């Protein structure tokens, strides 16, 4: 497996994701700067969490126009798995690779704590490391994690099994407690919680380890 992590100005979880990927694969991923126009030889792309471009204009909006995103979009459309975590989820929505939008949290406060998620779909390449119906604890850290889409889109996501993870105790007001969604082809996944932050007992949990090992196994 040849993963890569896209690094934007003010990304703050890029190294965390790199550590998680190296732990799962045994090799360090390529770190790709947002200003580059070409991707290295890769079969898995991660857009990490953070505050790309300082969250100016709208979270993820400026990053979605970065030069490297043209190559990411082309790869995604060709079937390469693309994972967006937190700010990466926002970027994926801004590019149109995922439906919906991430709005300001319903309580208008930044939320940073562990949350319990229910695995709704473990048949995707991103969630195959879990059991269907399993409950996992993964932290969130965001101010704009309130997932929104119109009812028609939400119904389609539900009916097509594209809601992969759902909050048990909704921390941000997301529609239908949605924490993570897939695109229609199943190769693009956005989630607000940070699995890279729970890959060791020293970090408070290991549910992220199963996540990344599952992804690596599927991609391999």
Per-residue pLDDT reduced to its tens digit, 36-73:
999 999 999 999 999 999 998 899 999 999 999 999 99
Please compute the mean of the pLDDT values over residues 122-145 and round it to a whole number.
Answer: 96
Please compute the mean of the pLDDT values over residues 201-215 and round it to a whole number.
Answer: 93
Whole-angstrom Cα distance, residue 182 to residue 59? 20
Identify the pLDDT of residue 216: 86
> Across-strand partners of 5?
31, 46
Identify the pLDDT of residue 220: 65
Whole-angstrom Cα distance, residue 12 to residue 35? 17
Question: What's the angle, vertex CA 166, arms to CA 196 and CA 11, rounded to 5?
Answer: 35
HSE (side-chain half, CA atoms, 13 Å) at 188: 23
Confidence of residue 32 (pLDDT cuts 50, 70, 90): very high
Identify the pLDDT of residue 141: 97
CATH fold of 3-219: Rossmann fold (3.40.50)
Q: What percent of the chain has pLDDT over 70?
A: 99
Interacting residues of 41 by C-beta distance below 8 A, sequence separation 6+ = 2
Q: Is the pLDDT of residue 137 over 90?
A: yes
Q: Is the pLDDT of residue 151 over 90?
A: yes
Q: Which residues are catalytically annotated? A: 86, 194, 196
Whole-angstrom Cα distance, residue 138 to residue 160? 25
Interacting residues of 145 by C-beta distance below 8 A, sequence separation 6+ = 86, 102, 105, 111, 171, 172, 174, 192
Q: Is the pLDDT of residue 219 over 80?
A: no
Q: Please report the DSSP string for 67-88 in residue order.
A: HHHHHHHHHHHTT--EEEETHH
Confidence of residue 1 (pLDDT cuts 50, 70, 90): confident
User: pLDDT of 174-199, one tens digit each?
Assistant: 999 999 999 999 999 999 999 999 99
């Amino acid at each position: 497996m040849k993963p890569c992590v896209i690094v934007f100005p003010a990304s703050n979880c890029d190294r965390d994701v790199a550590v998680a990927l190296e732990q799962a694969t045994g090799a360090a991923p390529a770190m790709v700067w947002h200003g580059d126009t070409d991707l290295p030889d890769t079969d898995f792309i991660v857009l990490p969490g953070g505050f790309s471009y300082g969250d100016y204009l709208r979270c993820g909006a400026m990053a979605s126009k970065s030069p490297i995103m043209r190559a990411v979009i082309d790869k995604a459309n060709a079937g390469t798995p693309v994972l967006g975590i937190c700010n990466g989820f926002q970027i994926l929505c801004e590019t149109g690779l995922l439906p919906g939008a991430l709005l300001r949290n319903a309580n208008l406060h930044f939320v940073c704590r562990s949350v319990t998620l229910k695995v709704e779909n473990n048949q995707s390449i991103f969630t195959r490391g879990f059991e269907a119906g399993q409950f996992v604890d993964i932290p969130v850290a965001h101010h704009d994690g309130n997932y929104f889409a119109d009812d028609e889109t939400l119904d389609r996501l539900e009916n097509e099994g594209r809601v992969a993870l759902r909050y048990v105790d909704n921390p941000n007001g997301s529609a239908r407690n949605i924490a993570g969604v897939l695109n229609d082809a199943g190769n693009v996944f956005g989630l607000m919680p940070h699995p890279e932050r729970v890959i060791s007992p020293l970090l408070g949990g290991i549910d992220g380890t199963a996540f990344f090992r599952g992804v690596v196994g599927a991609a391999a």
